Structure 1
Amino acid sequence: MKALVVLNKIVFVLLTQLFNGCLYSQSIQISDSLGTLIQQDGITPEEKSRLLSLRAYHLQDIDSSLIFAKEALAIAQEIESPLLEAAAWEEISHVERRLGNNNTSLQASLSALAIYETLGLTEEQAASFGQLASNSISDGDYNSAITYLNKARKIYETSDTNGNQILTILNLGETFRLAGKLDSAEVYFKETLTRNELVNNDIVQGYTLGNLGMVYTSQNKFQQAKDHLNEAIKILEPINDPYSTSVYLAELGSIHKKESNLTMAEHKLLEALDMAKTAGLKEQIRDFSKSLSDLYRTSDDYEKAFAYLELNKIYQDSLLNKESIRQIEQLKAGYEIDKRETQIGLLHTINTNQRNTVIILVIGVLILLVLAFLLVRSIKTIKMANNDLALREKEKALLLKELNHRVKNNLQMISSLLNLHSRELSGHPAQEAVLTGRNRVEALSLVHSKLYLEGLETRIYLKDYIEDLVLGLFHGYGVKFKPSFDIVNVSLSIDTVIPVALIINEIVVNSLKYAYQGIPNPILNIRVKKTANILELAISDNGIGFSTQEIEKENSFGIKLITSLIEQLEGNVERISEQGTRWEMKLKAA
């Protein structure tokens, strides 16, 4: 299931300290006690900052936890305490990652790491490497995550006062699982279980069993997978960990679907979605709703499939940010540059003569570069021109993606306005015309939505687009029967897709409105084939067909629109009214 592949990414849980089996009720008691201490008179700023960070750590409410962590940071910066500042940055990173704000989480982790490196605190550096690994996992950068975790494990091999080495091994196993290296993942998870026999930590046991269960799912060992996942949920649910518990519930739903137990699959996925909504976990809501949409489509319940697909799109739009990747790379580069500048400063302090030698070498290299430049100037000029052209093409592609997003939003706004006006015109003859216009706008909006979500291309895969368009019309008109699709999965340019979309919209809407009056078993078939550059489109129903008056009414706007669009695509159309209506078209496609 595609959604669950994405869902696997959010399973990664990186703990920077061992909880020692702390239960939810204990966390509430600790948080309340810390709140009482913070309100006491005579407390110093250092103590208040430390207590605020601890309270943020123990709070179960994410929003409140973030408020306390930021307050702790402000106090630490005011009193110029680097250690307290780093502790606050660490807690901010942890909370922001749980909220799905990976960019902000990465910035906080790098800030904490820079402070720990300056202070020479090795174990704290290892914890920061763990946070950075978590951010890399969220970006799908598994190689970087493994690098960060190996750095942390190397530190813990010589210095591990808090028992964090076992957590690092656990997270290495999870990283290999997400990277698809299941054998390596199984080895690390089993090593974690063996080490935990001495530590006996419930949280470590729960995460390890759950993640090992997901490995067994990928290996099609379903019974072992269900046993491990249920045991993990049994351990983690009393601790009130909605993040991991909801993921394991969704994984059980995936297994039941593979076993064709759709009722149990639906139950587990709905339970996971409710838990994610309660905890405000945006990424999980997005992925669980997609899984439910796929499940209902499998069981031919198109109304529910469409409803959950809409929910998925809402959260997908809220999480998309075309600037996030660029900002993350800038943060990584900024951290590396700051680190190198610090190293250069230390070298300067230790040995001034080395600096002078470096300057002389740099001058010599510059002279050689100038000579080389003079020799290959003409070649470089051509390369620079090519690079500029490529950069402009990339900028044009990004601008096109942003344009599609804005066009989509504007069309959706127009659709909403037309919908509102149609309600005000209830019973008025103009209401039908407004609703028809709204359907045409929705067809255009779906084109630009596909272009925005599917990348920088200007082509759209026809099969998914037509199915979404027709299912949306069925949902909008409250139609209960399901259409039949036989569509070749080819990509077409936007110049072809838009006219085809409007043609299909007009014909399907006409059938839904007029064709099935008194028809006990309505049918709508849509078939699309492509031969060379010719698109063959056939739409048929078993309705009442066109009356003589309707056939003569060739000047109606809908018929004119269909005819005009077919002419635009240099095609032809044949309409057959026998046992229903059948439209057969041949269109020139690019």
Structure 2
Amino acid sequence: MIAQDQKIADSLYVIYRQGHLKGINKLELLLNLSYNTSDTKKSLKYANELIEAAEVYKNDQFLYRGYSQKGQTFRLSGDLTYALEALFKAREVAARIKDKSFEGGAYLTIADVYSESGNSENAEIYYTKSINLLKKTKDTITLIAALLNAGDDSFHNNKLNKALGYFKESETILKKIDYPIGKAYNSGNLGMVYASSGKDELAEYHINEALNILEKLEDHNAISDYLTFMSDIYVRRNDFKAALSYAKRSLNLSTRNKMKEQISRANLTLSEVYEKAGNPDLSLSHYKAYIANRDSIINIENVQQLADLRTNYEISKKQTEVDLLKQTKKNQRFLTIIIGVGLLLMALFAFSWYRRYLFIKKTNLIIEKEKDRSEQAFSELQATQAQLIQQEKLASLGQLTAGIAHEIKNPLNFVNNFSDFSIKLTEEAMDELQKTDSNPHTEEVKVILSDISVNLKKIHEHGTRANNIVSSMLLHSRGGSGKREPTDLNTLLKEYVNLCFLGMRAAKNPIQVEIKMNLDDNIYEVHLNKEEFSRVIINVCNNAFDAMRSKKIAENDENYLPTLTITTKKEKNFVLLIIEDNGPGIPANIRDKIFQPFFTTKKGTEGTGLGLSITHDIIKGHNAELNVESSEGKGTSFIIRIPD
């Protein structure tokens, strides 16, 4: 929304005084005057004139805008009862003209008013109505605003899961459109929810993302608020230096831009940080500044005297606390000195007897600690050495594999291309012979050409299989970027399981498969390499489809329905992913071999034996755990545990 501009209002007032405008032009003039005028009384006057003119001209759209502007003006002046009355009339007009976008906007503003008045129950009701209506329109921006405001209301009422749900929904919409300010607010709000949930790393990531966007947009109000919140995160970590840095940045920014509310909030944060850091004088100084700025915001004449009394009382109370703290510390120091002198005198008598005992005990402790450290260091060295040897072997094998694969791939391409071309030539020769008169020689030639065609097809078939193996070897030896980022695991699973299913349906010998998705809604973001982990999903799902296809063909049972079940579950310290099929199962004698490179039970060109080997390497690269449970005749489950 464009901010109010009194200069625009002054220019429009000149046109208003002339009184020449009629119809739609007059309605536009009154709307802009009401919106841009900073004087509340004049703004209400123009809004009422707009309502009267809209009724005269029978223009329901401007009648809606008139009531909306009137409600907003009352809301800004603090008259929330009158604001609701006007906004409900705006909603009635929107419903009458069946404009879902207008009606959703009216419900949104009504919800905002209830939220500001502390009536969270009614606010939630009207936010829900607004969101449901706006989802039926193309008004994406207003829908995002409704989701953000609803989430903000839930957050401030400590309904963190509900708030997170709203922000995740708006995040999904924002990924599809270019709306930087909306993305910034949504990311910042996600950060605040994560911070309140104790997930400081996610909180810091999202708030920093918001700050980067807001600094480009120069949205100083929001930047100041998020800097203050970052300060709170570092206070919880007892990193007072970083906390003070963020709070001071917030105060400097809000002071430069004369933002009184943010100045007050930054001073309060600094007061709390200094108090926890053990600096009561600076804590009191910033607390006084907080009180002064807070009361300048609530500068109402008929309560000013009361505000002064309250200010003096609160500062006096704070000063008393500081004085008491100083006196307590002074008394503690004096008491410590007395006790110290007494203990010193006692220690002098016992020192000659006790010193040797302490020395021996200290020496034994040092020896014990050094022994433990040496054993631990030796164990870590052995583990690191084994890991380095394994990595070196794998790296050498990868380089060797890639080199061999590249060398083999070129002649293979020639074999495949020329065998394919030769098949076509033999078919053309056969066609020409069919057109000539039959004699013993031509029949003999046909037999020879037929044998050649069969041989060429076998060459092409096995060449294609060799080419697939080489391609898989290259894929196996090619490492990913290794970069992991917060990823919505459930969304990734839906996308790639569906992709595998569509690929299977489009390929040879498709089967009907029922896919069950049991996804835990409490799983939001997991640190993954999307490119690599998508290959895991594809490899395991393709194997499941192949297994269920072989069972359906072998048993020829009409009652057998191939079923693929995908399950995710949030466990302590890790996320559980299970991909389960009801295929024939894996025989016990080959279960230990399925992750070996080039091991396959498939025939012909159907498999290379590298899919599960690649899957195993990717899972290990994520510090995750992969297990297989299988029952012959009943099915197989691939169980993956990913660190949270």
Q: TM tier, shorter chain?
A: 0.3 to 0.5
Please, what TM-score do these two structures have when normalized by structure 1?
0.46
Please give the TM-score of this superposition, normalised by the length of structure 2.
0.42
